[in-house]
Structure 1
Amino acid sequence: MESPRDELDLDRSQVKKAVEALRAYIKSSSSSQKLFENDGQAIFLQLTLWKIPKKEQTIRIPLPHGLRTESGDVCLFTRDEPKMTSEQAVKFYNKLLKERGVKNAIEVIPFNMLKTEYKPFEAKRKLLGNFDLFLSDARIRRRLPSHIGKHFYQRKKAPLSVDLESKHLARDMERLIQGTSITVSNKGCCCTVRVAHSGMTADETVENVMSAVSTISAKLSSTGKNIKIIHLKSQTSVALPIYTSDLSHLALVEEARKNARLTKRKRENENTEVSELTTKKTVEERDSEEEIPQLVPIETPTKKPKKEIVSKKGLKKVPKPAAGKELKKTVKDTKLIKKTPKATARDLKRKAKNK
């Protein structure tokens, strides 16, 4: 089975036919479009994908024939050097690029100059139109979006990051300046990349197209077989098809999608089983740790016998009853008990007198 990341089988003869047709169209329309006589009109690749990617991806593409000349259409944003004015920083970085062997003419704009001189909207718009490529010092790349505005990103001219402290600065700058890049968006199935211009020969344009398609199909994260159609066009021409995938490519995409769904479902099932086992184990441990309370029978209190209280005179004190007839009976008995000792005492005195 063919690997999904294999390079696309692009027909070179078909590419050459499309290139020659575009060159003929540009030549015939150049008389009414003086704007493109000097620098040449750009030629683009337009890719249509079978499936919209889940994540946005930017692919940098080295080209055998550079898109730019030493015409100064490259702008470099740099950081501000301490204890230097903006003019001194421009001289400092121009000298640095020359010492590192960078041959292209590059205009340097320090960050402080960007914030002050290019703060108005019209100044930013003019800056955007003056340069074809923007580079950024890697140390200030994250600070640029809030200062350059959204139009740089809408026009696909977002600054490319470069490490100015690199030992191979000339090589890195050459790859960025003479190469190109494509942004595969996750919001649509079409993307466009500039690969040549009308000032190149037909063979140079064909070589750039073949190299760009090979790099994109190899580095595309959603597999190269996800490419459905490839068109070649200029800024004003119609899109000419140079590649159309067959249904076998769609089968590969569907199979990859099916495998992804099965893998996701398998992971979800495994996570569910692990969660159930963990919950069951937790419940068992909690139940084993809980103590079962012991049931103790409730004892009914027994009435203790009341003690008889004897007074100093030798008479018994009877406790008062609660109420009712028992209270009357108790009072009557108490009176009888009290009268008995008094009567006995008189009798004893009388008996003693009689004697």
Structure 2
Amino acid sequence: MEVPAKKMKKIRTGNKVAKKVKIEVDGTEKTLENLEVTNEHVAKCVDAILQLAEKNAKKHSLLSNDSKIFLQVNCIKTPKVAQLNLRLYLPHTLVGPNDEVALIVADIAKGRRQDYEKTIDHWETKFQQCGVTQIKDILPMNKIKTEYNQYEMRRKLARLYDFFLVDGRIAGHVTHCLGSTFRRFATAPVPIKLNRDNLKEEIDFGLKKVTLVIHGRGNSHNVQVATTSMSRQNIIENVIAACEQIKKKYPGEIDNIRSILIKPQIGLSVPVYYSIKNKNQVQVPIVKPKRPKAFKTVEGELSTIEGDVKVKVEPGGRVKVIKKRVLKDDTEDKETNDIEVKKEKKDTSDIKVSKKNTNDIKASKKNNNDTKASKKNMKRKIKQEKNK
């Protein structure tokens, strides 16, 4: 079979142009269209993956017979999201008979100096009464804080167990406490509700969940959906169930998915779903992070600064000082007050000027009268001297 280079044929659909791929297979020209998820196609892909896994197991002696099978999701437009954890429910659990499961629980007695053995004994007796046998070790929160507070110890904890479950009431605190070191080497702990009456069903339900971590740093995301030790029919059912949930829960849904591939632990991947949709028809999906109820900005008055000043405190700890802005009505009132003050000043200055002018007039009149009197006196003196 010879497959030449791909030829793109443009087909006009309304105002937009869609693209179809033409290839030659055994001398006949075929047009590739969207590849849908069907039972027959998934079964063929699973058979090919199992054959590849057998060949890789013979070549690489270090690989065990129980290797992982992943689903690789490639998107058309990279979503704008910090980090999103999609919980996918599978019909068949991935936990094998030799896998070890750890459960992280809250402390009964709070405080680092308290003994956490009481918490372990409490949950062990409770699991024995409910018939829970999948949990190997119970890890109280106090034990994680005291014994696994260093980089190497968290790395060792991530490789010590195959699956992690966590009480849903402390799930956010646990992920923050373990940090990125743990997430790099282990799968994210699956939260379960330990306050339910039937613990066995709740733990079985939690062990059938897998987490698809979606980040905004690339267009490819992986999630484990099966192992090679599982039966062929169970693998097919897990793959179909995961694909149906990804089409609905992925950012942008099925319109933003370019392809879904089945991938073994080592080797080539096989496409289960493929879309030839034009990327210009897809918008970039934006996912806003979920915030707790207390994640709000708080405003209040500030008494340490003079004037009408307020303070805004954001949830991240950033503080902003807000000064009161002068409104238009206040400016108009201020302008009218300034005009009235100016008028009053002008009136008082005019009154002062008029008083000054009257005083000057009176003084000039007085001076004129004085000059007239002095002239009369001079004339009298002259007449008296002549008579003598």
Question: Which residue in the other structure is 1:73 paired with?
Answer: 100
Question: Which residue in the other structure is 1:195 paired with?
Answer: 225
Q: Output the amino acid matched with 1:253.
A: V
1:37 aligned counterpart, secondary structure: coil
Structure of higher RCO (CA pairs closer than 8 Å, 6+ residues apart): 1
Q: How does 1:155-304 map to 2 (within 5 A)?
A: 155=185, 157-247=187-277, 250=279, 253=282, 291=336, 301=354, 303=358
70-79 or 298-307, larger mean C-alpha shift: 298-307
**Conserved? CA contact 2:188–2:211, under 8 Å:** no
**Conserved? CA contact 1:72–1:105, under 8 Å:** no
1:50 aligns with 2:76: yes
**Conserved? CA contact 2:154–2:178, under 8 Å:** yes
Q: CA deviation at 1:335?
A: 5.4
1:25 aligns with 2:52: yes
Equivalent of residue 144 in structure 2, options 73, 90, 114: 114
Deviations 1:77-125 (A, max 9, x none): 2222218622222121222334445342331111222223333433322
Q: CA deviation at 1:33?
A: 4.4
Equivalent of residue 15 in structure 1, options 21, 36, 42: 42
Q: Output the amino acid matched with 2:358.
A: K
- Alpha-carbon distance in structure 2 between the residues aligned to 1:336 and 1:289: 66
Q: CA deviation at 1:216?
A: 0.9
- Alpha-carbon distance in structure 2 between the residues aligned to 1:332 and 1:284: 67
**Conserved? CA contact 2:154–2:182, under 8 Å:** no
1:68 aligned counterpart, secondary structure: coil
88-97 or 41-50, larger mean C-alpha shift: 88-97
Q: Higher helix share goes to which structure?
A: 1
Call closer, same or farther: CA 1:335–1:244 in 2, change over 3 Å.
Answer: same
- Alpha-carbon distance in structure 2 between the residues aligned to 1:36 and 1:247: 38
2:218 aligned counterpart, secondary structure: coil
- Alpha-carbon distance in structure 1 between the residues aligned to 2:231 and 2:102: 27
**Conserved? CA contact 1:11–1:243, under 8 Å:** no
Call closer, same or farther: CA 1:147–1:243 in 2, change over 3 Å.
Answer: same
- CA root-mean-square deviation: 4.0
Q: Higher strand share goes to which structure?
A: 2
290-299 or 211-220, larger mean C-alpha shift: 290-299
2:282 aligned counterpart, secondary structure: helix
Equivalent of residue 91 in structure 2, options 57, 64, 74: 64
2:200 aligned counterpart, secondary structure: helix
Q: CA deviation at 1:46?
A: 0.3
- Alpha-carbon distance in structure 2 between the residues aligned to 1:337 and 1:166: 134
- Alpha-carbon distance in structure 1 between the residues aligned to 2:136 and 2:256: 38
Call closer, same or farther: CA 1:156–1:46 in 2, change over 3 Å.
Answer: farther
Call closer, same or farther: CA 1:339–1:73 in 2, change over 3 Å.
Answer: farther
2:217 aligned counterpart, secondary structure: coil
**Conserved? CA contact 2:102–2:161, under 8 Å:** yes
Deviations 1:201-235 (A, max 9, x none): 22211111011000111122312221101111111
1:217 aligned counterpart, secondary structure: helix
Larger radius of gyration: 1
- Alpha-carbon distance in structure 1 between the residues aligned to 2:214 and 2:39: 24
Q: CA deviation at 1:284?
A: 9.0
Call closer, same or farther: CA 1:171–1:34 in 2, change over 3 Å.
Answer: farther
Question: Which residue in the other structure is 1:263 paired with?
Answer: none
Q: Output the amino acid matched with 1:172.
A: E
Gaps of at least 5 residues in structure 2 are 1-34, 286-326
Q: Output the amino acid matched with 1:134.
A: F
Question: Which residue in the other structure is 2:304 paired with?
Answer: none
Q: CA deviation at 1:162?
A: 2.7
Question: Which residue in the other structure is 1:92 paired with?
Answer: 122
1:69 aligned counterpart, secondary structure: coil
Q: CA deviation at 1:242?
A: 2.0
Normalization by structure 2: what TM-score? 0.63
Deviations 1:181-200 (A, max 9, x none): 21122221110010000001
Percentage of pairs with the same residue: 24
Deviations 1:113-172 (A, max 9, x none): 222333343332222112122222234334334542422222352223333223454333
**Conserved? CA contact 2:86–2:211, under 8 Å:** yes
Deviations 1:225-249 (A, max 9, x none): 211011111111112222211227x
